[in-house]
């Protein structure tokens, strides 16, 4: 994909997978700094499903390793880290469901453009319609995710549409691992500054997928809330995936506890100083 832009932030590594210790405010401010400096970055996220996929799909793992910011998008990851002996503050759970609406609100105020790629055609249109009603001055466009990405001509049409709009931020909601692999394969041809894979967030922006109550989310039971609402689609992910994740964690806990912290990784390619990044949350 690209050489990772090293931001000066702390990270935790488990199973050699990097999770950056950032809050929603920190990520949003880093996004806007990247846009101002015209530096292209990718933001990825780990939840239990993503972790499981990374254990079996090398290209998916590579995407996360080279992403500029990799956030924790799930209480399951935080609870696993705590079980393995490293307690991480819950403020470092960066829910994309919570972050994207706040990001759109700030984009409207700062005149930054956003392109949504993904979901069914009718859902995508509803998301754009609803968000434009909520943010009348937001520069927003999009295309559904039901295209043949393996067809070079059809895929190029999508890329051309994105590049014609020249969005500051590209949000890709095609589901894991397809969205990450699509970004990886097309990264060099995309004329945008910030790329964020976001799963079902577009459907949430359309109001079609309800957000679980905060109490349920904070308890780490969002997976159960979603499973009850969509049992056919999510049964395999959660009923097989969650026990598999527990197996990995227990195995590491009692056989090879491969977890460590790295504080203040060096800046290499982007002009964001230590104090700027670490003070973003307080600014």
Query: Cα Rg for the chain, rounded, in angstroms?
Result: 18
Sheet hosting strand 194-197, strand order edge to edge: 69-72, 41-46, 194-197, 169-173, 113-118, 139-143
Strand partners, 189: none
Length of the chain: 283
* Residue 6 forms part of a structural domain: no
Q: How confident is the model at residue 244 (pLDDT cuts 50, 70, 90)?
A: very high
What ranges in the chain are assigned the alpha helix state H?
Answer: 24-37, 48-56, 58-66, 75-83, 96-110, 121-134, 152-165, 178-186, 201-205, 214-218, 222-229, 231-235, 241-254, 274-278
Q: Which pLDDT belongs to residue 281?
A: 41
Give residue 179's domain range.
Answer: 11-282
Q: Is residue 185 part of a domain?
A: yes
SS3 of the chain: helix, strand, coil, percent, to 5: 55, 15, 30
Specify the pLDDT at position 55: 94
**Is residue 2 situated within a structural domain?**
no
CA distance 86 to 122: 44
Least confident of 7-16, 111-120, 192-201, 229-238: 7-16
pLDDT grade for 3, boundaries at 50, 70 and 90:
low
Q: Which of 13-17, 85-89, 275-279 shows the lowest mean pLDDT across its residues?
A: 275-279
17, β-bridge pairs: 14
48-56 vs 58-66: helix crossing angle, rounded to 10: 120
Examine the pLDDT at 282 and tell me if it is beyond 50: no
Count of domains in the chain? 1
Q: How confident is the model at residue 9 (pLDDT cuts 50, 70, 90)?
A: confident
Residue 34 within a domain: yes
In a domain, 1, yes or no: no
CA distance 241 to 88: 23
Given a contact cutoff of 8 angstroms between Cβ atoms, the answer to whether 7 and 265 are in contact is yes
pLDDT of residue 268: 35
Spacing of C-alpha 106 from chain mean position: 18
- Find the mean pLDDT for residues 205-219: 84
User: What pLDDT is recorded for position 216?
Assistant: 83
């Amino acid at each position: 994909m690209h050489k990772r832009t090293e931001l000066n932030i702390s990270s935790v590594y488990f199973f050699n997978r990097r999770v950056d210790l950032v809050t929603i405010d920190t990520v949003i401010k880093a996004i806007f700094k990247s846009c101002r400096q015209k530096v292209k970055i990718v933001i990825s996220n780990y939840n239990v499903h993503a972790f499981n996929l990374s254990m079996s799909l090398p290209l998916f793992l590579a995407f996360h390793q080279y992403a500029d910011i990799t956030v924790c998008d799930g209480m399951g990851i935080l609870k696993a880290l705590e079980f393995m002996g490293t307690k991480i503050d819950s403020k470092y759970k960066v829910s994309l469901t919570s972050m994207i609406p706040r990001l759109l609100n700030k984009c409207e105020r700062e005149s930054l453009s956003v392109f949504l790629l993904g979901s069914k055609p009718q859902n995508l249109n509803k998301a754009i319609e609803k968000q434009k009603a909520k943010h009348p001055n937001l520069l927003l466009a999009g295309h559904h995710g039901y295209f043949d990405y393996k067809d070079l001509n059809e895929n190029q049409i999508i890329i051309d549409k994105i590049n014609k709009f020249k969005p500051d931020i590209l949000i890709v909601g095609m589901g894991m691992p397809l969205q990450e692999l699509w970004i990886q394969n097309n990264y060099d041809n995309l004329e945008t500054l910030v790329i964020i894979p976001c799963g079902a967030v577009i459907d949430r922006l359309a109001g079609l997928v309800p957000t679980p109550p905060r109490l349920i989310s904070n308890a780490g039971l969002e997976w159960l809330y979603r499973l009850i609402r969509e049992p056919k689609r999510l049964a395999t992910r959660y009923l097989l995936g969650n026990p598999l994740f527990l197996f990995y964690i227990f195995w590491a806990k009692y056989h090879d506890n491969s977890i460590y912290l790295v504080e203040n990784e060096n800046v290499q390619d982007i002009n964001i100083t230590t104090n700027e990044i670490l003070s973003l949350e307080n600014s």
